[in-house]
Structure 1
Amino acid sequence: MTLKLGIIGYGGMGGWHRKNAARVDGVEVVAAYDIDPARVEAAKETGLKGYYTLDSFLADPEINIVLVATPNHVHKELAIAAANAGKNVIVEKPVAISIREVDEIIEAAEKNKVLFTVHQNRRWDKDYCIMRKAVESGMLGDVYNIESRVHGSGGKIYGWRAVKEYGGGMLLDWGVHLLDQILYMYPENKVVSIYAQLFSVLNPGVDDYFKILMKLDNGVSVQVEVGTFCLRSLPRWYVGGNAGTLTIENFEGKGGITRVKKLMEEVEPEMVETAAGPTRTFAPQPVEVREEIGLPEANPDWTDFYRNVLNTIEGKEELIVKPSEVRRVFSVMEAAFKSNELGRSLDVNL
């Protein structure tokens, strides 16, 4: 079959999907709807059918799958309308602005027997896939700490993403991606505690910096951090294991791994003088103990998201971004918002 994709919300992400979804054999972008007539005209100029009302868009029999790419606060109503019209549904992240809304979308999709998924495309990010491959292959030994962060320096949040009522803020914008990456990596492990701090540094009313600390039931400590006004950046990934440490500097996947050939207790300890005074515990390891190795190779493709949706509808594959996983991510985000509101860590089972 061919997926005939109709886009609701022909803004920046809607245009991005038009270009990228069409790269997949078996996927054709055919139509767009927007409340702004100028965006409808822009869609028509690219060869799409343009609709000025939601009803006329959903009545198009050619459309068999709908992408919702609007501001966050209207995701739920549009996704449910599409499901009720018998269309398969993809929603841009975050899927909604509350766990209750997530459940309503899932219920509508199940009731109408249509596919529902969310565009969590950063499961296919190169840096993430490299990090995950290094961890799961045992290159770092037993991992105990994962730090995931995105730092920007501009400070300004633009458009509706700077408005709380529209579902703005960095936790909903970027946090949903970074949390999804971690939870997708540990599907069988529960989050047992969470502590979050959210700040409005330069953008009143929404969080433009946040830090989340989570502990998993396998003992792994996770830190997720996003800031829009960080004039000096830390690595995209910093991962520690009992046999090595990994750093990845950026989305391109540049970085490396430092490992030890033998543990320090197997090396004769030596007292050294440092600027902080004498130390044995924090003395640098002898050169012969350490080794620097390269990162594993990974070359994912964001368009695999659409291929999976197509293959799932055809019964050839299992859906990668499952509604239950989307719901889990949102439950963790809601716990983070609550932790910040209460100003303390929460014991959870998520």
Structure 2
Amino acid sequence: MGYGLAIIGYGGMGGWHHASIRERLPEITVKGAYDIRPEARNRAEEEGLKAYQSLEELLSDASVEIVTIAVPNNFHKDYAIACLRAGKNVVCEKPVTMNAKELEEVIAVSRQTGRLFTVHQNRRWDRDYRIIKKIIEEKTIGIPYFIESRVQGSRGSLHGWRGHQINGGGMLLDWGVHLLDQLLDLLPAKVVSVSAHLDSVFSDEVDDNLKVFLQFENNVSALVEVSTNCFINLPRWHLSCTDGTAVVEDWECHGKIVKLAENADQMTWEDEIVYTAAGPTRTMAPRPVHTTQTLELPEVHPDWAEYYQNIAAVLEHKDEPIVRPEQCLRVMKLIDTIFASQKGDGVAKCLI
């Protein structure tokens, strides 16, 4: 069965949705796009789409079953509610709303209307993330106790509306929402405390660099870092587990696993002081080489097209949504807590 889709907001992400769906998803046809900017509507027409002149025209198009919302963040809630009430199923770009309260309103309307509402948390399909997920799920290096997740750039600028507070700009709502969604997808245990530092190094309105430390109920800790002014990057992922360490260096997924060798618990060696350039140490002396083994990162082959394929399957009552609004509500509650912590010392107790 095929589905018609229309896009609200035909900027960078709106155009990306169109091109990606057209190339990869024959079960979904992009019918048209609505944008308040005439130049964006003209571009949609040039790319073979119907350019709706108003939201009402789009919502009255009976050939459209799905609407993808790709506008500045502060408009997400109102557009989502209007589409749901018009009988459309809704895909909303992230961050889903400006805060948890707004999302609760949207979820309520979705339940009232019986229409699907989901969020484009596409980075659950990133290869680097799926590698870490596989290592944890298969207990390749034992039980995790500390996870570091970073994205770092050096341009020092926020593009367009992402630099404005009124639009829900800033790195926590732009990239932080992705990294937090990935972490909460990895770890079902509740977050019990947050320690956050949001910097505005170059922006007068929003955060452009951030570090967030999370403590989970199962004693796992995590560090999330987003930087727009880093000239020497740290690894994309650094995973500490009871039996070893895994590193994913970058989006190209360079990296490795170093873990205890088989029968390492039965091995013995001299526990002697090692003399280094910084002086003598026993605790920080390197392990004997024969007690560890180095592995390549596991192969994974995620396919972003699964996101929209899942939506089609949900509409046909063949599957459950992969990205559920309740999951996104958990992320938004965490983001609300992080922002609220900045009014004090950056530390907050929670149960999310």
- Per the normalisation by structure 2, the TM-score is 0.97
Map residues 1-350 of structure 1 onto 2, 5 A cutoff.
1-22=1-22, 23-187=24-188, 189-261=189-261, 262=264, 266-350=268-352
How far apart are residue 169 of structure 1 and its match?
A: 0.1
Q: Structure 1 CA distance, aligned partners of 2:157 and 2:269?
A: 51
In 1, Cα distance between equivalents of 2:281 and 2:258? 22
Q: Any runs of at least 4 consecutive aligned residues in structure 1 with deviations exceeding 6 A, and if so which?
A: none
Contact (CA 8 Å) 2:164, 2:205: kept in 1 or not? yes
SS of equivalent to 2:343: helix
User: C-alpha deviations, 1:33-55, integer Å up to 9, x for none?
Assistant: 00001111111111111112111
Structure 2 distance, partners of 1:247, 1:179, is: 19
The alpha-carbon deviation at position 264 of structure 1 amounts to 10
Report the identity percentage. Answer: 46
Aligned length: 349
Task: Please tell me whether the aligned partners of residues 267 and 291 of structure 2 are also in contact (alpha carbons under 8 angstroms).
Answer: no
Deviations, residues 1-20 of structure 1 (Å, cap 9, x unaligned): 21211000000000000011
Structure 1 stretch displaced more, 253-262 or 326-335: 253-262
* Counterpart Cα distance in 1 of 2:41 and 2:299: 42
Moved more, 69-78 or 283-292: 283-292
C-alpha displacement of 1:266: 4.0
The amino acid of 1:226's aligned partner reads V
Q: Structure 1 residues 6-15 or 103-112, which shifts more?
A: 103-112
Q: Deviations over 1:156-192 (max 9, x none)?
A: 11100000110000000001100000111123x1111
Distance 2:2 2:65 in 1: 9
Moved more, 339-348 or 301-310: 339-348
- Give structure 1 stretches of 5+ with no counterpart: none
TM (norm. structure 1) is: 0.98
Q: Which amino acid aligns with 1:17?
A: H
- Aligned residue type for 1:116: F
- CA-to-partner distance for each residue in 1:64-119, whole Å, 9 max, x for gaps? 11000000010110011101110000000001101111011111111111000000
1:340 shift after superposition:
2.2
Q: Which moved more, 1:332-341 or 1:125-134?
A: 332-341
Deviations 1:94-147 (A, max 9, x none): 011011110111111111110000000000000000111011111111111000
Gaps of 5+ in 2: none
Q: Structure 1 residues 336-345 or 59-68, which shifts more?
A: 336-345
